[in-house]
Amino acid sequence: MVLNNTQTSQTVTYTASISDNRAVTGVTIDGQSITGSGNTYTYDKTYSFGDYGFGSNTDTVSVVATDSAGNSATDSVTVSISKSDTQNPTITSLTTSGTSNNNIVLKTSNKSKTVTFTAVVSDNVGINSISLTGATQTSSNNGTYTFTKNYHYDNYSYGSHTDVPTLTVGDAAGNSSTQTITVGIVKQDDQNPVINSFSANDTSVSLTTSNQSQTVIFTVAVSDNVAINSVSIPGTSLSSSSSGTYTFTKTYDYGDYSFGSSNDTLVVTVADTAGNSVTDSLTISIVKTDNQVPTINSFTTSDNSFQLTTSSQTKTVTYSVNASDNVAIDNVSVSGATYTGTSGSARVFSRSFTYGDYNFGSNTTTVTVTATDTGGNVSTDTITHTITKVDNQSPTVSNMTTNASGNAVTLTSTNTSQTVRYTISGTDNRSVTGVTWEGSQSSTATSGNNYYFDKTYNYSDFTANSTNSDTVSVVVTDAAGNTTNKSKTITITTEDNISPTISSFLSNKEGNVVSLLTSSQSNTVTLTVVSTDNVSVTGVSLPGTTVGTVS
């Protein structure tokens, strides 16, 4: 039997004629139990397209008959099945990229276009071949195939054309499908004509009272990839043309211009037969001569001499200029200054002078006014400023600190000396040139911007058991003599921590024995104490006694 894409199934009826000398008790065909009609047993089997591989296949169907005695007999039939593919491949889409709606333009400036064609195809079995006329396959991926085809300007005449490539897709069974796509091709000349040169025999025209006209000759050399259609220069007269060279003339008259400089810009336009055009320009300078220089009637300033200080670093100076000319003043400028307006007939300018632009001390700056008329004639005048740059910024000094805890020192009889270190940090916009402690003393040590002063306090310099204060001052001076003062007060306490000494303690009784008798019931004992101290003995006490004399 034959199974294909259009005939996807067939049913085969198998018939067995079976008899037995006693009785047939069971029949199976292809493993299925069959009930017969008389001696005839039938079995229908359906063969489906999807159950077989392409090409030739076989199926063997067996019949088994059993009688009541358990005897059995078998027979079989082999069926040939041919499965073939008759389904054409499917072209889902055929599109282009690198085009505008399948259209391309080939221009003189861009002569080559590569179009990418993308085909999406499929087949019930498999694609065997694919091609696109005139194109080169570049890739394939899961049924998507790309092709490229190059279109070149030189292969076409000017105007519109079409290219109709055919996509052919074949499968392994020889089935095929085709599809075409139309590509529109337009060849255009977009190359402008070339102006090889555009010149004049004189680009500077001088018109004077004694020579009031001048004729200028303009020459244009042009070319084109196809053909020149027209060449024109407004305001001139064409005098000749030959082999791409065109000559024009124009006369300039004195009466047509004002004193000073004027410009006449002439534009040449060249067009080709495709409508492409190109322009170029040439400027003629016309000078109607005025050679009288302007007059600077006055040039004054608000400040000839001034100071720039650290605290006031900018000074704005104004200038007043009165200038005139026989024709007209074209421009007045003051070097480094900005024009701010007018005051009567005078032009007013402003200039700022900045501290950072000058050295310390006295500087001079010369400011120049320049007056120019419309004829380009120039007059100048100057003012010289004296500028003094002054540093009036005092050094920056931190609060003074000490290494004494709580800014307090304690001196005792046994610890009679202590050195305190005073510290400041000093900086300046220029430099610190001097640090003076206590009116005349130098720093004990320095480290970067830190300055140190050591002062020693001695017990003997103060009254014992007293509280004192000492204020240490420092003066920091910069290169300009600016100063900053700082001070720190500390407390000095003195303590006597040495006990008095008892060198002797005696009585006036021999053996320190007092006799008390019935006849003499009282006896006075004199006790003598000898005591000294590093400072002074302020009191001696002896319980049960009366103080006598102290010497």
pLDDT band at 546, cuts 50/70/90? confident
Owner of token pair 């030189």:
154
Q: What is the pLDDT of residues 130-173, one digit of tens each?
A: 999 999 999 999 999 999 999 999 999 989 999 999 999 999 89
pLDDT score for 199: 98
In this structure, how many other beta carbons lie within 10 angstroms of the beta carbon of residue 1? 15
Q: What is the pLDDT of residues 403-436, one digit of tens each?
A: 999 999 999 999 999 999 999 999 999 999 999 9
Res 32 pLDDT > 90: yes
pTM: 0.42
* 2-83 maps to CATH 1.10.357: no
CATH architecture of 396-495: Sandwich (2.60)
If you write DSSP's letter for every residue of 427-476 in order, what string do you get?
A: E-SS-EEEEEETTTBPPSEEETTEEEEEEEEEGGGS-TT-EEEEEEEEEE
Q: Which residues contact 236 (CB under 8 A, 6 or more apart)?
A: 218, 248, 249, 250, 266
Cβ-in-10-Å burial (0-12, 13-18, 19+) of 410 comes to middle
Res 189 pLDDT > 80: yes
Q: What is the pLDDT of residues 337-376, one digit of tens each?
A: 999 999 999 999 999 999 999 999 999 999 999 999 887 8
In the predicted model, what is the mean pLDDT of residues 474-488? 96
Q: Kindly list the distances between the CA atom of residue 348 and the CA atoms of 78, 338, 367, 368, in Å, as whole numbers in the listed order.
A: 122, 9, 14, 14
Res 525 pLDDT > 90: no
Alpha-carbon span 349 to 328, nearest angstrom: 20
Q: Residues of CATH 2.60.40.10 domain(s) within the chain?
A: 194-288, 295-390
- Least confident stretch, 49-53, 218-222, 242-246, 447-451: 49-53
pLDDT band at 16, cuts 50/70/90? very high
Q: What is the pLDDT of residues 224-271, one digit of tens each?
A: 998 999 999 999 999 999 999 999 999 999 889 987 789 999 999 999
DSSP state of 508: S
- Least confident stretch, 49-63, 171-185, 202-216, 521-535: 521-535
pLDDT score for 326: 74
430's tokens = 């220029």
Please name which of 82, 102, 241 lies closest in space to residue 173, comparing C-alpha atoms. 82
pLDDT band at 323, cuts 50/70/90? very high
Give me the sign of the Cα torsion angle 533, 537, 542, 545: positive
89's tokens = 């491949």
Q: Please provide the average confidence, as pLDDT, over all residues in the chain.
A: 93
What SS3 state is found at 143? Answer: coil
Task: Give the start-end residues of each E strand in 68-182.
Answer: 72-83, 90-97, 103-107, 112-122, 127-132, 136-141, 144-152, 159-163, 166-171, 176-180
Give 314's strand partners.
354
In degrees and rounded to multiples of 5, residue 182 shows phi and psi of -100, 125
Please name which of 205, 219, 367 lies closest in space to residue 288, comparing C-alpha atoms. 205
pLDDT score for 503: 86
210's tokens = 């004694």
pLDDT score for 539: 78
The answer to whether the CB of 310 falls within 8 A of the CB of 325 is: no
What CATH number labels 295-390? 2.60.40.10
Q: Residues of CATH 2.60.40.2910 domain(s) within the chain?
A: 90-188
For residues 538 and 201, the model is more confident at 201
* Fold of the 90-188 domain: Immunoglobulin-like (2.60.40)
Q: What is the pLDDT of residues 94-108, one digit of tens each?
A: 999 999 999 999 999
Burial 295-323 (b: 16+ CB within 10 A, else e): ebeebebeeeeeebebeeeebebbbbbbb
In the predicted model, what is the mean pLDDT of residues 3-8? 84
Res 279 pLDDT > 90: yes
Q: Kindly list the distances between the CA atom of residue 109 and the CA atoms of 5, 113, 153, 184, 251, in Å, as whole numbers in the listed order.
A: 54, 12, 10, 19, 40
Res 445 pLDDT > 90: yes
SS3 readout for 256-294: HCCCEEEEEEEEEEEEECCCCEEEEEEEEEEEECCCCCC
Res 528 pLDDT > 90: no
Query: What whole-number percentage of the chain has pLDDT above 90?
Result: 78
**What is the rounded (10 degree) CA torsion for 85, 87, 88, 92?**
-130
Longest CA pairwise span in the chain (Å): 185
Q: What is the pLDDT of residues 56-102, one digit of tens each?
A: 999 899 999 999 999 999 999 999 998 888 899 999 999 999 999 99
pLDDT score for 260: 77
The answer to whether the CB of 82 falls within 8 A of the CB of 58 is: no
* Fold of the 194-288 domain: Immunoglobulin-like (2.60.40)
Report the Cα 370 to chain-centroid distance in Å: 44
Res 8 pLDDT > 90: no
pLDDT band at 188, cuts 50/70/90? very high
